[in-house]
A and B are shown apart, each in its own frame.
Chain A
Amino acid sequence: MKYLHLIWAGLTRRKTRTIFTVLSVLAAFLLFGLLDTVNSAFGNVSGSLAGASRLVTVSKISFTMALPMSLYSRIQAVPGVAGVSYANWFGGQYQDGRVFFPNQAVSENFFDLRPEWELPAAQKRAFKETRTGAVAGANLARQFGWKIGDKIPLQATIFPQKGGSNAWTFDLVGIYRAKNPDARGEENALFFNYKYFDEARQFGNGAVGSYSVKLTDPRQADQVAHAIDALSADSEYETKTETEQAFTAALVSQFADIGLIVGSIMAAVFFTLVLLTGNTMAQAVRERIPELAVLKTIGFSRRSVLALVLCEAVLLLLIGASIGLLLASVAVVSIQGQVAGQLSLPRVGAGEWSRGLLLALAIGLLVGFLPAWRGMRLRIVDALSGR
């Protein structure tokens, strides 16, 4: 620690070079922060505990197939089931359809089974009592300036009303919030009453898209899932039941191997970065050989010269990485505002920071080692005489 000013003096010896290098490091870690966030956004979409304590039951053929309503009471009777709600994807478009958000018809007890969301009791009651009632996520409501009492028109893409009209109108009776601030992405959906939807739609009546099952004990997830699937085994409507978490993870993995893409980009970035900072450190040490020799002459041990150069490299990386990650946090917040509804990005959190800084430390040691070794091994006489 007492050598900090010495290390700092090394860095500020050539200010332009240090600044340019820090800016390169910054760019690399800005990218790291952004991509790592995207990666974890896809990785734990439903990483909440609530996601593990609920099961999703969909058609075994694919989740786009409907299931009969008759399963509802039968699933409720399965031991270990605390409650069942059901939902049907609506896929309506709002305004010109350019901004997409999920919207579904749900059973009236839907919000009772989601303790991770906050919906005032009066609004919960209003949802059950209003035929055309709808509840929107806080983020979504903010984005479109919706207030309770507003009429929300949606254009159907799948389900027309009886008579063929695609125009559906719902009354906003509630706005829910996610209790966990990192799950703000869940506040981008709209839900409305299944009962009204089922009465008014032209076809498909009496069927639902999926059941959501709340467990009395999350540890029984596998047994309960098997018991539910056994209800419909060898029937025309076989089901597939898994935890919400597993369901979402499987869906995401169908989009792309995000981890692979992000990993390849980061590999290219950090390979370049190692070369770049390695070159900077090599230059810095080459220029300072006489100075290092002086340090040795006045009694610095070989090991402390090694440590000095290594620390300089690590400090350079850590400064760049910190600013880069800081910028990434700011950028993620502003990007989230732009893409709300399509993707929910978690904030750059402790995970990104610790991974990023560890990476910076590792790269610093890696690129500092060769120059530091050279500094340690130099012979005072040769170095001072410029040989």
Chain B
Amino acid sequence: MASTAPSTRVSLPTEWRDFFALTKPRVMTLVIFTAICGVLAAPGSLHPVLAFTAILAIAMGAGGSAALNHWWEADLDAGMKRTRNRPLPGGRMRREDARDFGIFLSAVSICLMGVAIGWLAAALLLAAIIYYAVIYTMWLKPRTPQNIVIGGGAGAFPPLIGWVAVTGEITAMPLLLFAIIFFWTPPHFWALALFVEADYAKVGIPMLPVVAGERATRRQIMAYTLVLAPVAIAPWVIGGAGWLYGSVAVVLSALFVVLALPVARRRRDGLTDKMLPEKRLFKFSIVYLFVLFAALVADRLAAYQGWLA
């Protein structure tokens, strides 16, 4: 991994855009969105400047850990079509620069969160960065086919941290938001892994379809979808959200199950299979998370205004 890679010779200074690319801006949109949802849905209020700072710190922490992920996985990225033009495998940046940038961004994000918001939120942010950059990227991703399940935990931190930034305590609701993203990640990512399987196999990452085969992956997609449904509805059941969120969660989760069923039942029809049900499930899973969290925010804001019983 990091120790076996040749260092890249770069004579020109790295473009700032390449440093920005290290933070995985596309992944960041989901991080920022779920963090904003956590801040808005939490009971209580936060000064707008502090709310902005909390979300900025979460985004910077995510960017820092993404840069560390780029640094560690530069060799793997070079072997995959989807990632071979990233700044490090593309030879546009020195490896140590990516590492230092990641550490710096992570450290600044934790200090910013601690000083401006509170040290519980900062501790959770530190835990999220260590979870993603060390436990997931360096340790478990190359070792277990359940890597996606574990990786889901890293993506599940932002709404939890956003919520805790407002309330200052960890309660059932932010833990449920964590659980929703945690159980959403496997069906979301394995649907993608089914149609980009060849790439992961090439670089030796033990993705479930590569190690356990396609049938097992399809069964696991169904299993996690069935676990996700009650977890997504739970905030309504425990009284943490109202009927607006509850009804959206029920409809979306039912749709998720309906779309996962053909993925679980079918088998690839030769090399020419277009994998349409898998692609449909992958696209829907993104809509699912955005709409579910948007519904939670709408529900909570309406409740705080007294518009919902």
- A joins B in a complex: no
Interface residues, chain A, with chain B CB atoms under 8 Å away: none
